[in-house]
């Protein structure tokens, strides 16, 4: 697969992921306006199912990283082993595509629900407890991804990763953004899933810290994890037979 094809898959996949997050949040707020718990449940279930489906759709093309932290870890592991993973230029293309996709996804969700294309989010999300939650959620996600690749269970990635994110909506105080591109995109929609621009830098920093923590843990627990960097999130960039 050419880099252009892989990057376009990352853009489209991240856009659809953010559209699912933001769109289901808007729908939940409209359908259950007086029940915050039900709104969160609806948002979490829709996001978990959409994420699993998107990994199945885009995984064979780009690996379905859909997350700059996952891509950065993939680059680092491949750099150590020289057996796969992203190169520096590929990492830059992936991250740019993911962030652009995050914005397009928010704009798409706004348009589908007859809202202005861009409305800057006003929901402030700040505080040490939320940043700790983002470190924890991102570390768990990255560790799961690396473990699945290292143990040859990438076939379970769509269900496992979708389940993890869906559950983390509930057991983290931040509702588990765990993704800088998604975080960036969500500031373009002043809706249930939005995050104020001023809150974004700290969230992204916490997510990066979580990625580093997961990388350290994976390197310790799986000394040869770098050998499987080409299989993150799922095996990709291989010859595909179309029928």
Give the burial class of 79: count Cβ atoms within 10 A of its Cβ; 0-12 exposed, 13-18 middle, 19 or more buried: middle
pLDDT tens by residue, 5-19: 999 999 999 999 999
Look at the alpha carbons of 227, 6, 200, 173 in this order and tell me if their dihedral is positive or negative.
negative
Nearest residue to 210 via CA among 145, 146, 144, 136: 136
C-beta pairs of 46-49 under 8 Å, 24+ apart in sequence: 46/20, 47/17, 47/20, 47/21, 47/165, 47/166, 47/169, 48/162, 48/163, 48/165, 48/166, 48/167, 48/169, 49/162, 49/166
Per the listing, tokens 């990709």 go with 236
pLDDT score for 241: 47
pLDDT < 50: residue spans in the chain: 240-243
- State the Cα–Cα distance between residues 67 and 162, nearest whole angstrom: 14
pLDDT score for 223: 80
Structural domains in the chain, sorted by start = 3-228 (1.20.1080.10)
Structure token pair of residue 186: 């969500």
């Amino acid at each position: 697969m050419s880099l252009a094809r892989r990057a376009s898959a990352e853009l489209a996949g991240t856009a659809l992921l953010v559209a699912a997050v933001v769109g289901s949040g808007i729908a939940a707020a409209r359908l259950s306006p007086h029940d915050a718990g039900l709104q969160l449940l609806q948002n979490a279930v829709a996001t978990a199912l959409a994420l699993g489906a998107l990994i199945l759709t885009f995984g064979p093309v780009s690996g379905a990283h859909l997350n700059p932290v996952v891509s950065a870890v993939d680059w680092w592991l491949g750099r150590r082993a020289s057996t796969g993973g992203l190169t520096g230029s590929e990492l830059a293309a992936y991250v740019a595509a993911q962030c652009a996709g995050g914005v397009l996804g928010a704009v798409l969700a706004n348009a589908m629900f007859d809202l202005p294309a861009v409305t800057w989010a006003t929901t402030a999300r700040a505080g040490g407890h939320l940043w700790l939650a983002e470190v924890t959620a991102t570390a768990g996600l990255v560790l799961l991804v690396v473990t699945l690749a290292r143990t040859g269970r990438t076939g379970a990635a769509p269900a496992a990763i979708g389940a993890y994110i869906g559950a983390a909506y509930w057991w983290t105080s931040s509702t588990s953004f765990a993704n800088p591109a998604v975080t960036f995109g969500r500031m373009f929609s002043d809706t249930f899933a939005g995050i104020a621009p001023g809150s974004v830098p700290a969230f992204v920093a916490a997510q990066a810290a979580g990625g580093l923590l997961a990388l350290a843990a994976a390197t310790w627990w799986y000394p040869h994890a770098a050998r499987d960097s080409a299989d993150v999130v799922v095996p990709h960039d291989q010859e595909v037979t179309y029928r």
